[in-house]
């Protein structure tokens, strides 16, 4: 590779995996992700950025790094990066799909089961010594006879759908366009999907088009037996509308792994008995996070080696390296 390239690491990252880079690269690691702390003298040397979970990479930072060639993003979602702007500046952006697909799908089904059968509350009933005074009340909801709709039938959505089918439940979906490789029922709008099902699982990416896609009308269409599960992005849901819908019995329950303003979670949600809340852990197993970390590094090694990356995002697929 010749002269060492400099890589800026923003946010927490697996330090053992970073060791793969040290023979060939100089590393600047800002663990808190605050790029304002970057020394101005170091900026011209930076050729790559590793962007970790929860870190936003502003366009202004791209402007300040005149020799930046690639942003290797940790995670499938890359809404913290303006990939179109990066493409205009001939900067490659990569993400980490596939390696977390099955883990997130597992979590989605676990969250659904916990939500409808109230398993966390049942465990607390036991741990608090209440079983001796009486058994845990029958759960108001069941997975049986449910109809499941998936918003976002990409890799993860399809993995969730396969699991739902294994529970002998029908699957429908809404995407921007109909998928050619599945036989599930397609609905051209989210509200039509909500009207047709009683269980809505969100896996869509964050974008201007999907922001608050689940609003009061969609929740009303889902109905009083409805269950909302979100393992996509918090911005997909109007949280104020969701809170009111849960309080007023417009829908029955919700299971949420993501929130609008993480790590802030509305107090109203934390006080409700008909919700299950997780701290954005859908992909958070040691095995899956290790695989994600290695893919981040593989993209960098490929770029600075052959000029090819493993997983470019759609917006930068045509970006090429200038030697």
The encoded tokens of residue 133 equal 């005074």
The encoded tokens of residue 225 equal 């037996």
CA 277 from chain centre, in angstroms, equals 15
7 forms beta bridges with 27, 48
The encoded tokens of residue 316 equal 């930068």
- Catalytic residue chosen out of the listed positions 84, 165, 176, 262: 262
254 forms beta bridges with 228, 275
- Residue recorded with tokens 């936003």: 56
* Whether the Cβ atoms of residue 156 and residue 203 lie closer than 8 Å to each other: yes
Kindly provide the residue ranges of all beta strands, DSSP E only, lying in 120-189, ordered along the sequence.
Answer: 148-151, 171-174, 185-186
- Catalytic residue chosen out of the listed positions 233, 239, 260, 289: 233
Instruction: Tell me how far apart the alpha carbons of residues 102 and 98 are, in angstroms, rounded to a whole number.
Output: 8
From 314, 303, 298, select the one nearest 99 (Cα to Cα): 298
- Catalytic residue chosen out of the listed positions 117, 121, 280, 321: 280
Is 233 marked active-site? Answer: yes
The sign of the CA dihedral 103, 107, 113, 116 is negative
* Whether the Cβ atoms of residue 230 and residue 256 lie closer than 8 Å to each other: yes
Which residues touch 176 (CB under 8 Å, ≥6 apart)? Answer: 209
* Whether the Cβ atoms of residue 49 and residue 72 lie closer than 8 Å to each other: yes
Is 163 marked active-site? Answer: no
Residue positions annotated with a catalytic role: 233, 262, 280
């Amino acid at each position: 590779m010749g002269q060492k390239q400099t890589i800026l690491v923003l946010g927490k990252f697996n330090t053992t995996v970073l060791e793969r880079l040290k023979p060939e690269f100089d590393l600047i690691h800002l663990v808190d992700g605050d790029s304002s702390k970057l020394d101005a003298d170091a900026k011209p040397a930076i050729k790559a950025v590793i962007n970790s979970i929860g870190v936003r990479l502003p366009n202004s930072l791209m402007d300040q790094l005149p020799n930046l060639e690639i942003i290797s993003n940790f995670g499938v979602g890359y809404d913290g990066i303006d990939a179109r702007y990066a493409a205009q500046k001939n900067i490659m952006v990569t993400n980490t799909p596939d390696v977390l697909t099955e883990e997130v799908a597992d979590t989605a089904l676990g969250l659904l089961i916990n939500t409808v059968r109230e398993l966390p509350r049942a465990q607390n009933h036991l741990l608090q010594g209440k079983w001796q005074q009486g058994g845990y009340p029958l759960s108001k909801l069941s997975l049986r006879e449910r109809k499941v709709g998936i918003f976002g039938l990409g890799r993860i959505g399809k993995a969730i759908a396969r699991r739902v089918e294994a529970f002998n439940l029908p699957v429908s979906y809404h995407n921007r366009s109909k998928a050619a490789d599945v036989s599930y029922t397609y609905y051209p709008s989210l509200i039509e999907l909500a009207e047709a099902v009683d269980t809505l699982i969100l896996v869509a990416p964050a974008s201007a088009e999907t922001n608050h896609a689940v609003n009061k009308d969609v929740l009303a269409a889902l109905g009083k037996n409805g269950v909302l599960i979100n393992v996509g992005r918090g911005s997909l849901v109007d949280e104020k509308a969701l809170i009111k819908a849960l309080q007023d019995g417009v829908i029955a329950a919700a299971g949420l792994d993501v929130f609008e303003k993480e790590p802030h979670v509305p107090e109203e949600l934390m006080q409700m008995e008909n919700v299950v809340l997780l701290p954005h852990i859908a992909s958070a197993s040691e095995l899956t996070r290790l695989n994600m970390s290695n893919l981040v590094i593989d993209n960098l090694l490929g770029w600075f080696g052959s000029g090819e990356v493993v997983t470019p995002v759609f917006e930068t697929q045509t970006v090429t390296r200038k030697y």
